[in-house]
Every structure is written in C-alpha cells, then in structure tokens.
Structure 1
Amino acid sequence: MPEISSKGRQMPASPIRKLVPFAEQAKKRGTHVIHLNIGQPDIKTPKIALDAVRNHTIEVLAYSMTEGSEEYREKIAKYYEKYHIQVTSQDIIVTTGGSEALAFVMGTIMDADDEIIIPEPFYANYNGFATAAGVNVVPIVSSLDDNFALPPIDQFEALIGPKTKAILICNPGNPTGYLYSKKEIQQLSELVKKHDLYLVADEVYREFTYDNTEHYSILEEPGLEKHAIVVDSVSKRYSMCGARIGCLVSKNKDVIQTALKFAQARLSPPTFAQIASEAALETPQSYFDAVIEEYVERRNTLVDALQKIEGVRVAIPKGAFYCVVELPVTDADDFAQWLLEKFEMDGKTVMVAPAAGFYATPGLGKNQIRIAYVLEKEQLITAVNLLAEALKHYRSL
C-alpha cells in the first residue's frame, strides 16, 4: 500500500475543529451545543458588502489579477492611512484569507528546517503552516499570570540561532486576547534589526481593542521597512469569514515580488469576495463602535461569570474576542470531549477548544481551554453555567 508522507503524518489536527464529529453526534442525539470553540462572530456582515455582490452585473466571472484588483488594493492602502500606516497598492497582495498570506510568508522568507520564533500560546494553525512549509517553530512561553504579555526580550535573543529567520506575533492575540504595547513592538523591532530577521505580525483583529487602548502596527515603526510583514484579513473585521479574503503587506519589495510568484501559482483570489471586501471598506465607523461596545460587554459578562467558578483562572483580554481559561482539570482535551459525549443539562452542552493545541511545547496548556466570546451575553451566561455544573460532575468521576 502506498505510504502517506512524513509531512502529512506530522500535520497537526486543529484543536478548534477536531471535536466537530463529537459535536455532530451530540446534535443528532437532540442536544443543543453552544459553540464557544470557534471565532465565528454572530455580528451581521455589513449590508453594503452583501449588496455589492447582490447587485453586481458581471456576465463573465473571470480571473482577477494575481495580486488582487488594483482598485481594491488602492482602497486597502487608503484604509491603512486611517491607522497611520503609509503603504501603496504595490505593497499589497490580496490573498485567499489570512491563511494563504501566512503560507506565502512562510514560503517567501524561509527554507526547509529554518526556524521561526513564536510566543505561545498562539493561533493553532501556525503549527500547520510551519509543518506544510517544512519550517520549525521555536516557541517561547508567555504566561497567564501576566495576561500573556510579551516574554522578556533576552529570552527571545537566547533562542536566536543560525537557522532563525523570523519572529511571528499575533496582535491582538488569538487565543489570548493580549494586545502588545508600542514599547513591546519597539523592543521586537530593535531585536530583529540587530539580528537581521523578519518580524511578521498577524494583525487581523486590529479594530478590536478595549479599555481605551490602541493598536500599534509594526508597519508604523520607523526603520523596520525591510523587516516588517503584516498578515491581514476581512474575516473578523467585517464578520465575513466565508469570504476568504486577506492580504499580505510589506514595504520590502523583494518580499512582495517573491510572494507574488507563490500567488501566481494559485492564479488569483476569488472575484466576488473581492467585490464584497472592497465595498466593506466603506463601512462607517459607527459599525465598529457598536461592535466594540458589544464585545466589551460580552467579555465582561464572560470573565465575571468564569471568575465565580471555584478553581478557574482566566486571562483578561485587551483585544480580539478570545480568552484563555485555566480549569481545575488535568486534561482539558478529555474534558472537552466528555462535554460532548457524556454531559448535558436541560438538553444543552458546551463545545470549547482545548488549549494544548495552541502550544508547540509538549505538555503545556493541558489544563486550559480557549473560549471565543462571539455569542450574545445570554448565551454566554448559559454556557458558563453549563461549564460550572459540568466541572462538578467531571471532577467527581
């Protein structure tokens, strides 16, 4: 029998999606599953984006430009101006989601067995992108004790070796909700310039910052033009996860020209989704003001309720819409599966994402879960009540 590749065997399963079969079985039994496991907002997509597709008069659904339409890229550049980021359409490649942008980055700046340093816990698919590219993730641990702040810079420097090519951060963070400060970004900037590395920032949650904090992009940092690469997406910003439109942004022309070759191999990003995404850029600020207010209320509701459960610890997110929760269990994977297979109360149960899959260091995060607070406050309260009752039953087994 032909063999599967070693790369295929090493490809990690998604901690966000691997429990889906158990959730589907629960639903077939008639159990209502409250999904806290995935960052799919229930916020309505801006009508202007949907109308742009609904009202279009395309007669031939043709390829777009490989790098995305010129009109859309010019509007993206104007969007960045609002955030003190000076780029042109030539600094942007439109991609099929932020995922493809990350894959292009890996292929552009790294060779097989090169290393990329990432603070953990991190977005679980970074492990997958690295495995697909034959790249080695070098994790550096951040802690719930300080809300997953940036680890000390000397710890980063101690990990830099001859194979190190880049440092990757998610800002604000998935799964932690941590928002890196301007000072922390500047520390990373000095480090990558000192060692001639790339600094890659996944900034898809840029709009979602709370408590009078502001996002500081690596593209704002002076002197970082040759080192900075940003990955972005419309998925969360406009509640358009299904559009699968993102972009790669860098002022480094060699990076853009090389990434473009990877983009040419997949021909072009989807046309209708670009039309919707271009229209979404006209979304008024009032939309974001309302969304941020809603997420703050959801965060506060969730955190307050979780903190009342004995033995539970929770980090306080400053951005995005996730938090990492430490549970009084030894194996959150087992607990999460048990919730779907064995537990229900009033015909309901909860689906969470075990956090071990957001770490690269074996053994870390085993007693943690990630919760996405993308549901209405009433559902969040119900979900936490279910979790509290489930923990009582599970710990008595």
Structure 2
Amino acid sequence: MAPLNPALVATFAPPVMEARRWLDGVHFPPDRPLINVSQAAPVDPPPLALRQAMADAALNQPQAHLYGPVLGNAELRAELASTMNRHYGGTVEPAQVAITQGCNQAFTAAIATLAAAGDEVILPTPWYFNHAMWLRMNDIRAVPLPCGTGLLPDPEQAAALITPRTKAIVLVTPNNPSGAEYPGGLVAAFHAVARRHGLVLILDETYRDFDSRNGAPHDLFLDPDWHRDVIHLYSFSKAFRLTGHRVGALVTGTPRMVEVEKFLDCVSISASQMGQIGALWGLRNLMPWVASEREGILTRRTAMMEGFAGTEGWELLGCGAYFTYVRHPFDLPSPDLCQRLVREAGLLMLPGTMFRPDGGGDEMRIAFANIDTAGIAEFFTRLRRFTL
C-alpha cells in the first residue's frame, strides 16, 4: 500500500460524518420522522433579501467569480472591524482582520502561525472536536483541561499544565459542545495567564451572536495591546446562514498577519467571493434580523432547560447558544445509547466520547438550533418514553 501520513491516520474520524452513518438502513415512519440534533449548522437558506443581493452580484459583478485578496476583501475587513469596535469597544483595525474559508480555517491558520510538530496547545474539555483533530493531524499535542462546575475551565489549572512546549490556550464561548457562556472575568483571567507565560489566547466566538447576555461579553479589546497575544475567531455562517459559502474571520496583530497570508495563499488563495459579498451585505443590512434570530434561539434554550428539568434521571450540565450538554441515566456507553436512540426513538445526537480524549461515556451533546419549540416538545416526549 502507498504510504500514508501517520499523524493523519492516527486522527479520529469526523464525528458528525460517523453519526450520519448510524442512519444507514434505519426506517423512520411518517408519524415519527427523524429529529436530528447532531449538528449545529443552520439548515435553512439565508434570508431572501441576502440571496437576492448575492444573485445580483453573481450576475453583475465580474469580480464575484475571480480570485480576491488573500486576506479578504477590503470592504468586508473594514466592516467587520467597525462592527467589532461597536460591539466590544476598543480598537480593531481593518489590517488586523483576515477573512477565511469558514471559522475552521481561521483556527487552522492561527495554529499554523503558532505551533509545529511536538508543541502543545491547551484545550478545555469537553472540546470542539475539529480543534483536536487539526492539532492531532499536525502532530501537535492537545493538552486537555477538564472543565468544572458549569463546564467552566479554571485558569490556574491551565497555568499548571503549561510546559516549555506550550504555545496557546484555546477558549470557545459560547462553548461548543457545552453551550457554556464564559464570564468576562474568566476570559480576562485566561488572557492574564497567557500573557504571563508568553502564550497566545485563541478566543473562538463563532456563536457570539446568540449569547444570552446583552452587550460585550468581555473587555479584551479595551486593552490597547490586545493584538500582541490574542487571536480572535468568528464565523458568518451561523449569523447569516452562509454555511455553504464558507466565510469566517481571524483577528490579530498585523505582524502575525504576514504569516496568516502565507498559510491562506497555499490552502485557499482567497475566501469565497460570493460568501464575502453575502457577509458584507449581511453586516450592513441584517443585524436587526440577526437579533430576532437570537431571540428565537434563546426561546429554544429556555425550552431545553425546562425540558430537562422535567425529565427524570437526566442531568443538565450546560446550555447556551446552539447546544445543550447533558449526563444520561442509563447503564450504557453513550455511543451505544445514541445508536439505539436513532433506531428506537428517531433521535440523532452525539455522544460525549466524541468531545473528550477519554471518558464521556455518560454524556451527550444536543444541538437544538434547528428544531422549534414544538420539535423540542416532541424530542422530550420521545426521550421520556425511551427505556433500555
């Protein structure tokens, strides 16, 4: 057999794709269709007005079909910087913004500027599996930082894990998979640990538009030197339902942008022009619509919290943005339980084992953003009926 990269071979399979294979050969009767709470990506298309703007660009803007600047279109970089300054305070310059092919690529670019094989990056657990996958396939050690009460990580425990090989600490808030919203003081404490040890804090706020708190969730950007040791990640996919157009962002200091540009030039040359056109139009026209979407997500969040409060044996560990993270009551490992729930209850969710290097056998992640309150009620009806 032809050689294969051993680091890639040693990386676990994509969890969402693995879970989809559990559907093979399973029949879902009309009166009990599948309720899929395995993936957080929006399943509805962007609003009609956004689609019309993108269609107009496709027909009338020749540049929409060509390569663009490697770090992103100037108008979008400037608009996102302005949006961030309004949201967080402080100052983000357009030159400190790069547009990427989705937020996953923003993470890969950040790591490419920071770490090499044999280095270490601290990830709170349960972790976002794509972060752990990218580190593993690059032979970078993902150092697990177990979360405590409320699935919040402890900055001093993180400090105790730091070695000469550590390059960064990664935080995701609101968190995927747990839904936990990290208090501003906690984010600041992690930033202080990173700065004290000469590390970078990577802050992934893919789901910031659905945070239950009003106003800025932290004050990192009020520090005039934030750009020295903060890399901020964002996704337009969730805000404007642009998942198929792959458009995200990385925000950091301009010296690091030199290295980011090298990486992006090799892997994508430039982010999707249609995605960038859609994101720019969305930032300029759709923020009231995003606010209404947020209210809908918060209504679903409340329904999930109330549902688990009334479901015997299940323990709610975290809930926010798109996600609920729970502990199940059954004497069965969560991967086996999840597959039985597909076959016997028409429910597809992900086991906690997909979000940890080990353990998680009594945990589940539920991505509830794509089911309405009626769907949530049906979800709990089926969950309460299920028995081993």
The verdict on how the C-alpha distance between 1:191 and 1:52 changes in structure 2, with shifts beyond 3 A counting, is same
Residues in 2 aligned to 1:358 and 1:91: alpha-carbon distance in whole angstroms: 31
Look up the match of 1:72. 76
User: Deviation at 1:217?
Assistant: 5.6
Look up the match of 2:251. 249
Residues in 2 aligned to 1:41 and 1:264: alpha-carbon distance in whole angstroms: 28
What one-letter code is carried by the residue in structure 1 that aligns with 2:295? E
Look up the match of 2:374. 378
Question: In 2, are the aligned partners of 1:325 and 1:368 still within 8 Å (CA)?
Answer: yes
Residues in 2 aligned to 1:142 and 1:174: alpha-carbon distance in whole angstroms: 13
Look up the match of 2:259. 258
With normalisation by structure 2, the TM-score equals: 0.92
What one-letter code is carried by the residue in structure 1 that aligns with 2:66? A
Residues in 2 aligned to 1:25 and 1:263: alpha-carbon distance in whole angstroms: 40
User: Deviation at 1:104?
Assistant: 0.7
SS at match of 2:285: coil
SS at match of 2:201: strand
The verdict on how the C-alpha distance between 1:27 and 1:282 changes in structure 2, with shifts beyond 3 A counting, is farther
Question: In 2, are the aligned partners of 1:43 and 1:291 still within 8 Å (CA)?
Answer: no
SS at match of 2:329: coil
Look up the match of 2:152. 149
What one-letter code is carried by the residue in structure 2 that aligns with 1:237? A
Question: In 2, are the aligned partners of 1:353 and 1:369 still within 8 Å (CA)?
Answer: yes
Look up the match of 2:347. 350
Match of 1:359 among 356, 359, 364: 356
User: Deviation at 1:303?
Assistant: 1.8
Deviations 1:143-176 (A, max 9, x none): 3xx211232x221111000100100000111111
Look up the match of 1:33. 34
More helix by share: 2
What one-letter code is carried by the residue in structure 2 that aligns with 1:369? M
| Structure 1: gaps of 5 or more residues | none
Residues in 1 aligned to 2:43 and 2:20: alpha-carbon distance in whole angstroms: 19
What one-letter code is carried by the residue in structure 1 that aligns with 2:375? Q
Look up the match of 1:295. 297
Residues in 2 aligned to 1:269 and 1:284: alpha-carbon distance in whole angstroms: 21
Question: In 2, are the aligned partners of 1:174 and 1:322 still within 8 Å (CA)?
Answer: yes
SS at match of 2:347: strand
Look up the match of 1:389. 385
- State whether structure 2 residue 264 is matched by structure 1 residue 269: no
Look up the match of 2:21. 21
Look up the match of 1:8. 8
Give runs of ≥4 in structure 1 deviating > 4 Å. 27-31, 211-214
Look up the match of 2:54. 53
Look up the match of 1:81. 85
What one-letter code is carried by the residue in structure 2 that aligns with 1:373? F
SS at match of 2:238: coil
Look up the match of 2:322. 321
The verdict on how the C-alpha distance between 1:106 and 1:277 changes in structure 2, with shifts beyond 3 A counting, is same
SS at match of 2:326: strand
**Paired residue total:** 380
Question: In 1, are the aligned partners of 2:314 and 2:329 still within 8 Å (CA)?
Answer: yes
Question: In 1, are the aligned partners of 2:304 and 2:324 still within 8 Å (CA)?
Answer: no
Look up the match of 1:109. 114
What one-letter code is carried by the residue in structure 1 that aligns with 2:368? Y
Identity of aligned residues (%): 23
The verdict on how the C-alpha distance between 1:132 and 1:217 changes in structure 2, with shifts beyond 3 A counting, is farther
What one-letter code is carried by the residue in structure 2 that aligns with 1:276? G
User: Deviation at 1:16?
Assistant: 2.7
Match of 2:145 among 140, 143, 148: 140
The verdict on how the C-alpha distance between 1:384 and 1:214 changes in structure 2, with shifts beyond 3 A counting, is farther
SS at match of 2:189: helix
User: Deviation at 1:372?
Assistant: 1.0
Question: In 2, are the aligned partners of 1:97 and 1:235 still within 8 Å (CA)?
Answer: yes
Question: In 2, are the aligned partners of 1:15 and 1:354 still within 8 Å (CA)?
Answer: no
What one-letter code is carried by the residue in structure 2 that aligns with 1:104? A
Matches within 5 A, 1:153-164: 153-164=155-166
The verdict on how the C-alpha distance between 1:70 and 1:222 changes in structure 2, with shifts beyond 3 A counting, is closer
SS at match of 1:125: helix
Residues in 2 aligned to 1:90 and 1:173: alpha-carbon distance in whole angstroms: 28
Residues in 1 aligned to 2:25 and 2:41: alpha-carbon distance in whole angstroms: 21
The verdict on how the C-alpha distance between 1:157 and 1:26 changes in structure 2, with shifts beyond 3 A counting, is same
User: Deviation at 1:110?
Assistant: 0.4
